[in-house]
Structure 1
Amino acid sequence: MKKKRQKSTLVVSLCFLLMVFIVLGCESKDISISKDANGSPDTGANRNIARTNVDQFANILDLSANPTEETNGVYETNKFNHFSDLGAWHGYYQPAKDNKKLLGGFAGPLIVGEEYPVNLSNSINRIQITNKETNEQYDLSKSKYIDLSSYPGRLEQKYELGDITLNLSLIFVSNRSALIRTDIENTDEEPLELDISWKGSVFDSVIDGDKTIDIGTSLQKDGNAIQVNFSKVREQWDYLATDEVKYYISHDKKINTKINGLDYTSSLKDSVSLEPGETFETYSTESYTFTKDEFSKEKSKLFDYVDEQETYFKDNKQRWKGYLDKTFTGEKVKDFPEYQNAAVKSIETLMTNWQSPAGAIKYDGIVPSMSYKWFMGMWSWDSWKADVALADFNPDLAKNNMRALFDYQIKSDDDVRPQDEGAIIDAIFYNQDSSRGGEGGNWNERNSKPPLSAWAVWNIYEETHDKEFLEEMYPKLMDYHNWWYTNRDHDNNGVAEYGSMVSEANWKTDEDGKVIKDKKELPELDEGAVIEAAAWESGMDNATRFDKEGRGKGDVGVKVFENKRDGEVVGYSINQESVDLNSYLYAEKGFLKLMAAELGMDEDEKTLIDDASKLKKYIQENMYDQESGYFYDLQFNDDGSKTKLLVNRGKGTEGWLPLWANVATDEQAETVKDNMMDEDKFNTYMPFPTASKDNEKFSPDKYWRGPVWLDQALFGVEALQNYGFDTEATEETKKLFNHAEGLMGNAPIHENYNPLNGKGISTKNFSWSAASYYLLYKNNILSNNPTTQDAFK
């Protein structure tokens, strides 16, 4: 018995000492290895502290990956999450720990083939270390300790072996290059002599479903660098590249490189001798460029990146600390530490989706998601939602994102559609539209998007007080605002409709794709195509209110009207005045009124006040149903003499937009709030589905027919805040955080969520969801400060 007690006591003592060692080790290295209830790293979210050090936010997003030629899985979405920064068109993963072949380098990279993200390699540049005395290569998978961690703005790897410790750090230093620091410490008591090399390979094909595309990659030596060359490939719906594209890996020390097909090995010319406690340090850069000019300019900067590496690493950390300092402000930060990880994840998501100028994109901006095959462009209202969040912590990027879309605002002398003067087109991509001599199948000029640009600009101005930016944007915003009334107001009553531009995409075609013409040799209009464009213009692509067949007695369904000016068709409207569109336009008048006052535009200010008063009266009197206590779209006939309130199509998130715009009466707001808080309607497990739960067409997984979209949820929370329903607003906000699958753990932020169980659906790492969560944290959890207009409150 005595021996057993002694053994037990010894085990307890050893366990205690081990725990003390782990805790002290974690504190000294800013590394946390404890896990939360979801099995995710607990970096202090449950401690009553306010954190602003970037090292305190480790592994908020799971970046582990086994990249292959087949980048995408379910829903044409990347199987893994990746890291990027500074607007680079490439990014990296951390290697999955169970794949020893990937250890010693950062997995990937993921590159964007102009408009399509694909994996270039499983691990393009991983280190190999050999003990020269024993001629044995170190097996990193057998390390005593492996740490593969991501922090805001950087990736880290650490391997502790018997006699050496290997550390790798990766940051982006420009919009085309990443910088990797490698250091090897001799932790033995004897001197070491090491041979060091790097191995890598590239894929020569992209697999997309059952389709395999040869991308024509090849390797080439270039002094102390390895150059990946590309062939010209123009697979419009899968992958695009030219022979000017380069991926370039440059080392700061002399290397010998051997190439074998798509594989290479680069070895340091000289062995490395290390005394006990001594550290060897080396640097490499990895650049991805599209054109000869880009490549030449970036190549000339590589020496500076390495020579000034200490400054670059310091500046990177300071930049990201600046983002956190701006985010975690105010007395209430310390009261809600559990939401800090989600706020940081929102910032990381937006920064990974940052894209710099390339191709037809002339300014920095935010794409919806680098994880989704089809989202590598900039959509107007996606960008504007991102900009309202960016205004708080990265306002310069927000300004440029505005410019990126307005750079293609239609002018009166436009070669293609001068009749759309002032319009902002739906989406822009690397390749411009074919109607303008480009080859961009994803570029879309057929429709616009809901007018949220003035909302974004005013929020940027409130943060920056940059009057020059306001002066730059104000006339463009006014032109866009006015376009809705010149091209989307069929009966000229000051109330707009969704619709479509005049576009070849709206013509009927035969089986061979040829345009069908009528007796006058004019193209025949495809009403279904216009209705599709109108739904796209609303941003709520398949919402139940846009179902062509209509529903119930007296509902004639969705019809198409021609909008004419001087006898010429300038666009098309559908036969319903949408309550969300006109609420957005009312809010926009408020923001424009505030801008006009700042800029001394007295006549504009007066006109905006008068127009807003008329629109307010119309919305309150014509778009609200007394019986159900909710707002709906209004159907009308060709001359506007007959209308029908579309109560029969059910409730959707559009019905609380009048509260977000501050256009509803207090009495109307009270009944809308009751609908929003009803558990059989909108107050679901994950609150605020896009179609009410009692809508007969409600479907919790079908895009805009039931899933929770965070932008609409944000508008719902701010709608409640506007009318003093603060308790309800905070209650729903906390549900949005706590009931979204994996949000509070290390899962990505999704495009939308199932309202009944909180499961993330559609694509992931979605920008406007991230922006919405950021704003909910800042303006509801930490304050009661909605982003809405108060000029007409």
Structure 2
Amino acid sequence: MTTSNKPLQTGRQPVLTDEEIRDQVREVLYKNMINGRKAGYDYHYTKPSPGTYPFQFFWDTCFHVFTLTALGEADMARKHIQSLFAMQRQDGFVGHMSYWERLWPGRFTDLLQLQPRDVLRLNKPHMSALVQPPLAAQAVLRIYRQSQDIAFVWQMLPKLKAYYKWLAVNRDFEQEGLLSIISPFESGMDWKASYDPVVGYNSGKAGPLLFWKVLQVDAYNFLKRYDLQAIYKGNRFIVKDAAFNTIYAQNLEVMAALCRLAGDSEEPYFRQQAVKTAQAVFNYMYDADDAAFYDLAGHDFQKLRIRTATIFFPVVLKSVPDDVCRQVMERHLLGKDGFHVPYPVPSLAVDEHAFDPDSSLYIWRGPTWVVFNWFMQQFLLKKGYHQEAQALLQSVKELVTQSGFREYYNPFTGAGYGARDFTWSGLVVDMLNRQQEPEEDIS
């Protein structure tokens, strides 16, 4: 795939130097870092932001690993992952939030994301009943690549194997290779517009009614006591998210690589699972007419034809044909089909009915998040789109220069919104490293 002659456009303004950015990211991470011991557990993690998100979140911790290792902090990253898996259940499950220092959930609605029995034991460390995108294998591999600490791989591999097998057994309801989420909060993109039809919201821009529609999903799961088979049978919110499953497929492949490194006999199992999932993503999610990968809803895998920024995530999978990758990228990310803004990548196409670029309780419905640029940069570099990858990096550098490390940004003005000192935006240091030296292939 050759470099496009249609580079992504960003604003043009002086930016912080790379070293200034690194220094500021390090400062934000250490400001948000917390460690201690509670009820026999040692914990060490970074809060995504000081006040808004005080807990240890699953995929946030993995993002922190990428950022810490980009700063040369492999030992600190190792402690983060060990903390993330400290309360892992015997069956392999790890919740999307771990409550350590502050044991009471931050919002009343978070109570609905706990097992009912855990509501009665909030005086002890506990986890939520939900999951998040399974980036953990990639995080462990990143730590190994920087530290060459094979003992750490040996320590974590049994935990990782149990975790990914739990996902395969409990969330691949149809055994097709695709995982289902049971709440909008499990994708990490809480109010994602493609979920609107599933929760019965058809009013476009978000409002209080959407809040209650989503709250009803978590209330339903809570009343079902998070019995996954009962929840699946009820079909209230069963969604196969394109980004979630892309990340799952990537991490299954990484699991095979970790098994190979550790001399573990289950390498073939994870490699087969990775192929199965990647093929299912292509078979079920891809729409040739729209050149897009859509989220799926319900038992019948109904395509949710709303153009969020995850419609092009699966192009990173090796099994997706080059001509399909080219069509998706040229039409959407590199073209002018709803994602062509001064500060890419918007979380929703600008011509979608629900698009809202401004600050709101209902996030992921228009503003730009650094994680999209970070995720797509890997693909652009591997496929020869060096100019476009540089443009995504330049956009992030301009955003943090202008507005600081914020939760999300206006895709037209670059104004920063949401939480301050938000660690996700620190992924810019990993982007800086990748632009200079792309990551090696794991296969």
Structure 2 length normalisation: TM-score? 0.81
Counterpart residue type for residue 419 of structure 2: T
**Residues 663 and 698 of structure 1, relative CA distance in 2, 3 Å threshold:** farther
List per-residue Cα deviations over 1:732-751 (Å, max 9, x = no partner). 2212212x1xx336x53111
Amino-acid identity (%)? 22
1:365 aligns with 2:45: yes
Question: Which structure has the highest helix share of the two?
Answer: 2
- From 120, 128, 141, the equivalent of 1:458 is 141
Q: What SS does the aligned partner of 1:764 have?
A: coil
Higher relative contact order (CA 8 A, sep 6+): 2
Counterpart residue type for residue 481 of structure 1: Y
The aligned runs of 1:688-767 (5 Å cut-off) are 688-701=345-358, 702=360, 703-738=363-398, 740=399, 743-744=400-401, 748-767=404-423
Counterpart residue type for residue 302 of structure 2: K
- From 8, 13, 34, the equivalent of 1:355 is 34
- From 611, 614, 626, the equivalent of 2:288 is 626
State the partner residue of 1:427.
98
Aligned-residue CA RMSD (Å): 2.9
Q: What SS does the aligned partner of 2:131 have?
A: coil
Q: What SS does the aligned partner of 1:408 have?
A: coil
- From 334, 340, 343, the equivalent of 1:683 is 340
**Residues 617 and 569 of structure 1, relative CA distance in 2, 3 Å threshold:** closer
State the partner residue of 2:200.
549
Would you say the 8 A contact 1:389–1:774 is kept in 2?
A: yes
The aligned runs of 1:305-454 (5 Å cut-off) are 338-359=17-38, 362-370=42-50, 372=51, 374-392=52-70, 393-412=72-91, 421-432=92-103, 435=118, 438-439=121-122, 444-454=127-137
List per-residue Cα deviations over 1:678-697 (Å, max 9, x = no partner). 34522311100111112221
Q: Residue 765 of structure 1: CA displacement? A: 0.7
Would you say the 8 A contact 1:721–1:786 is kept in 2?
A: no
Q: Residue 458 of structure 1: CA displacement? A: 0.4
- Matched residues in 1 for 2:202 and 2:344: separation? 26
- Matched residues in 1 for 2:290 and 2:424: separation? 31
Q: Residue 569 of structure 1: CA displacement? A: 5.0
The aligned runs of 1:524-539 (5 Å cut-off) are 534-539=183-188
**Residues 760 and 598 of structure 1, relative CA distance in 2, 3 Å threshold:** same
Counterpart residue type for residue 390 of structure 2: T
Q: Residue 444 of structure 1: CA displacement? A: 4.9
1:646 aligns with 2:324: no
- Matched residues in 2 for 1:484 and 1:688: separation? 29
Counterpart residue type for residue 767 of structure 1: T
Question: Which structure has the highest strand share of the two?
Answer: 1
1:599 aligns with 2:257: no
Q: What SS does the aligned partner of 2:173 have?
A: coil
Would you say the 8 A contact 1:432–1:438 is kept in 2?
A: no
**Residues 475 and 442 of structure 1, relative CA distance in 2, 3 Å threshold:** closer
Counterpart residue type for residue 328 of structure 2: V
**Residues 696 and 437 of structure 1, relative CA distance in 2, 3 Å threshold:** closer
- Matched residues in 2 for 1:717 and 1:544: separation? 24
List per-residue Cα deviations over 1:558-586 (Å, max 9, x = no partner). 99899xxxxx7557353332211211111
Would you say the 8 A contact 1:454–1:591 is kept in 2?
A: yes
Would you say the 8 A contact 2:407–2:420 is kept in 1?
A: yes
Q: Residue 537 of structure 1: CA displacement? A: 1.0
Would you say the 8 A contact 2:350–2:366 is kept in 1?
A: yes
State the partner residue of 1:540.
189
**Residues 679 and 348 of structure 1, relative CA distance in 2, 3 Å threshold:** farther
Would you say the 8 A contact 1:673–1:720 is kept in 2?
A: no
Counterpart residue type for residue 166 of structure 2: W
- From 277, 290, 297, the equivalent of 1:635 is 297
State the partner residue of 2:433.
778
Q: Residue 338 of structure 1: CA displacement? A: 3.0
Counterpart residue type for residue 718 of structure 1: Q
Q: Residue 494 of structure 1: CA displacement? A: 2.4
State the partner residue of 2:208.
none
Counterpart residue type for residue 411 of structure 2: P
List per-residue Cα deviations over 1:529-554 (Å, max 9, x = no partner). xxxxx1111100001012211669xx
- Matched residues in 2 for 1:635 and 1:589: separation? 23
- Matched residues in 1 for 2:123 and 2:351: separation? 41
List per-residue Cα deviations over 1:374-413 (Å, max 9, x = no partner). 322211111110111212311111000001110011124x
- From 644, 652, 658, the equivalent of 2:314 is 658
**Residues 737 and 358 of structure 1, relative CA distance in 2, 3 Å threshold:** same
Q: Residue 614 of structure 1: CA displacement? A: 1.9
- Any stretches of 5+ residues in structure 1 without a counterpart? 1-36, 39-44, 47-336, 413-420, 500-533, 563-567
